[in-house]
Structure 1
Amino acid sequence: MKNQLDRIRSKLLLAAQADPDYRVFGAKSHRYRINERLSPVELQRFEQTHGIVLPEEYAAFLTEIGNGGAGPYYGIHPLGTKQSIEMDRMGEPAALRPQMSQAVMDGEPNDPDPDTMTDEEYDDWVAKRVQGLLNIGEQGCSYETMLVITGEYRGKVVYLDMDSHRSFFTYEEHFLDWYERWLDETIAGYDDSWFGMGRGGDDRALLNLYAAATEEAVKLEALEGMLKLPEIADETVFFLEGLCRESSGEAARRALQVLAKTRFDRAEPLIRHKLNGTEAEGRLLALQYIKWYMPPGEQRFTEEIVRLLPRETNAEAFRFMTYILNDAGVDMVAWMLPFFRHPDKEFRIQAVYQAGKSARKAEYLSDFMTALEDPEVRVQHIAVQALSDVPDPVLLESYERLLWQHKTDQDYIRSNVRRRLEEFGFAAMEEMERKVPAALTQVRGMLRTILDPDRRGRER
């Protein structure tokens, strides 16, 4: 343990040097500073007070490194402080157990439904679920970092969602391994999103894990763990390419994702094959990886996506197509117009939204007016928003019908119509009444309140 503590001291300095701008999640809070060490007397007093013995590795950190400070997420709490759980049952046997799958936070299979319990029953259930734990850090929102103090998994670090009380056991054997892994990944510049939720190690270690694993779940974890890496070796690239070509299912999907994230040029032929394939699931996957991982500003898939766009039948795939074309700087208004009348409202919503970004949208007002008459309120809402900076009088009749249709602002139609009317920029009441037909009573009424905000109060 002494060698590990010495490594941690050295790596704390290296981690701070590797992240001078505090880009790692939570680093702006702890700034890689460690608190003063806890004395053995203070440690013993805490243990005696609560009738426990802290796991050796965690105790050594407190007395040899520091009583909290720099650490994963928002850092390590000083001993016993900032507790989100009661400590009176810390010495009871820990109830939490690792789940069959470490891929996501999940609940126990036989968890009761909190909605069926009384307040007293729920409080007792929560107390039993968190007994044997010590809160050692926080991750943000309702997520906390816990240390198992008692039982079979004593010394393990656990992530706990205090809202759902679902848990995730980290992979490392004890606190110091978990903490040193964080330092190693910070120094190496790994992706720090949800640190500890995936397998640790570089691509070589993860390849070895994959090869040695007998369970499919562990093989998938090894591939998933590579997503945190900023780069991978050529040997890993060859392996992943082979896995994509020779396998199917989840393993091939994860292998392609790692390639796309770390070596997009090598992933491109595989992505292109899926994009032009007949399987809707594969096409969506290709589009997602293009959106997420293609280097910014590139247009290498633009022509293919424009060609595929009219034939797309999956709303999610269509949405990603529009994202990619938008990122490529394509003016999409002409491509979106046919989808204004699509039978699926999700297509209509996305098409109107993207068309509204066009600098040429004023040339297609009749199409946008059709969208304003759409039976789906969400389409109407998006259409009104899409017409920003288009103060064309031809739209006033459509706005009049919307104001009659929506007597309240429950669906945010009236407030958005008001913003569009404000853009007409009438300088005075007389100008408005001269230019807006008298038959448009709802529009004129709203314009009067815009031009004279105190008018409604006087009329009352």
Structure 2
Amino acid sequence: MNIDQADPDELAALRAAFDVDDGGESALGWVTVRAFEAEHGIVLPEPYRTFVAEIADGSSSGPPEYGLLPVAELPDDWGDDEEERDLSEPFPLTEAWMWEEDEAPADDADELLEQVYNQGSIVLGTDGCAMNWHLIVTGPHRGHVWLISDVGAVPFGSQFGFTTGGPGFAGWVRHWAEHKPWYDAA
């Protein structure tokens, strides 16, 4: 997984998976991507960065189930849209966390939970029922995709043991394209 330089083969696979053939009209363009990054104090990981700049900023086809959101949007079921998200602060997790099963003091868990939802990630989209896919943009898991739901958070990719899919945005999309329906596919 190379999060600093886009691989042309991965970009071709992303273009094919989303069936985008509009000559880049649905893409943000590099000026807008750089402005978004400057506003939030981040650099988007590749190949997602090039995808939104040159191919498409969102897609009505998946992944996830309800389509890929534009880079600056949140799912309709997100909740409090007024909550301030800080993409420049590191995403706090490096391993799965099921807060429904956690015995940590409530105050500690609430603070960490707030960070999980609001720090260091952009929301790629939703599979419904508050199951949201996040691309980590800052912190040790930068470039990885996580599923964050109402009961816990798990990283996507075979190295984490939750799926056979490859890591990062390209691996997540490839797994979807090869296994529709997709998440639980071996």
Q: Residue 89 of structure 1: CA displacement?
A: 2.1
* Larger CA Rg, structure 1 vs 2: 1
Higher-RCO chain (CA-CA 8 Å, sequence separation at least 6): 2
**Residue 71 (1) aligns with residue 62 (2):** yes
Counterparts of residues 143-292 of structure 1 (less than 5 Å):
143-161=131-149, 163-164=150-151, 166-171=152-157, 172-186=166-180, 192=181, 195-197=182-184, 225=186
Q: Residue 111 of structure 1: CA displacement?
A: 5.2
Structure with the higher fraction of residues in strand conformation:
2
RMSD: 2.7
Pairing partner for 2:14 from 4, 8, 14: 8
| Percent of aligned positions that are identical | 28
Q: Residue 178 of structure 1: CA displacement?
A: 1.0
Q: What's the CA shift string for 1:341-361, capped at 9, x where partnerless?
A: xxxxxxxxxxxxxxxxxxxxx
- 1:74 & 1:35 partners in 2: Cα distance? 21
Query: TM-score, structure 1 length as denominator?
Result: 0.32
What is the DSSP-based 3-state SS (H/G/I as helix, E as strand, rest coil) of the residue aligned with 2:122?
A: strand
Unaligned runs of 5+ in 1: 14-33, 100-104, 187-191, 199-224, 226-460
Query: TM-score, structure 2 length as denominator?
Result: 0.73
Number of residue pairs aligned between Structure 1 and Structure 2: 160
- 2:18 & 2:69 partners in 1: Cα distance? 17
Name the CA shift for 1:124/1:106 in 2 (closer, same or farther; >3 Å). closer
Pairing partner for 2:104 from 95, 112, 123: 112
Q: What's the CA shift string for 1:302-337, capped at 9, x where partnerless?
A: xxxxxxxxxxxxxxxxxxxxxxxxxxxxxxxxxxxx
What amino acid maps onto 1:167 in structure 2? A
Unaligned runs of 5+ in 2: 1-6, 158-165
- 1:110 & 1:155 partners in 2: Cα distance? 26
- 2:115 & 2:98 partners in 1: Cα distance? 17
What amino acid maps onto 1:54 in structure 2? L
Structure with the higher fraction of residues in helix conformation:
1
- 1:9 & 1:129 partners in 2: Cα distance? 30
Q: What's the CA shift string for 1:48-81, capped at 9, x where partnerless?
A: 1111111121111112220001222111101111
- 1:64 & 1:52 partners in 2: Cα distance? 18
Contact 1:35 1:67 in 2 (8 A): no
Q: Residue 140 of structure 1: CA displacement?
A: 0.5
- 1:4 & 1:132 partners in 2: Cα distance? 24
- 2:91 & 2:167 partners in 1: Cα distance? 16
- 1:111 & 1:144 partners in 2: Cα distance? 24
Contact 1:87 1:134 in 2 (8 A): no
- 2:84 & 2:178 partners in 1: Cα distance? 32
Name the CA shift for 1:60/1:9 in 2 (closer, same or farther; >3 Å). same
Name the CA shift for 1:124/1:6 in 2 (closer, same or farther; >3 Å). same
Q: Residue 113 of structure 1: CA displacement?
A: 5.0
| Deviating 4+ runs (over 6 angstroms) | none
Q: Residue 82 of structure 1: CA displacement?
A: 1.9
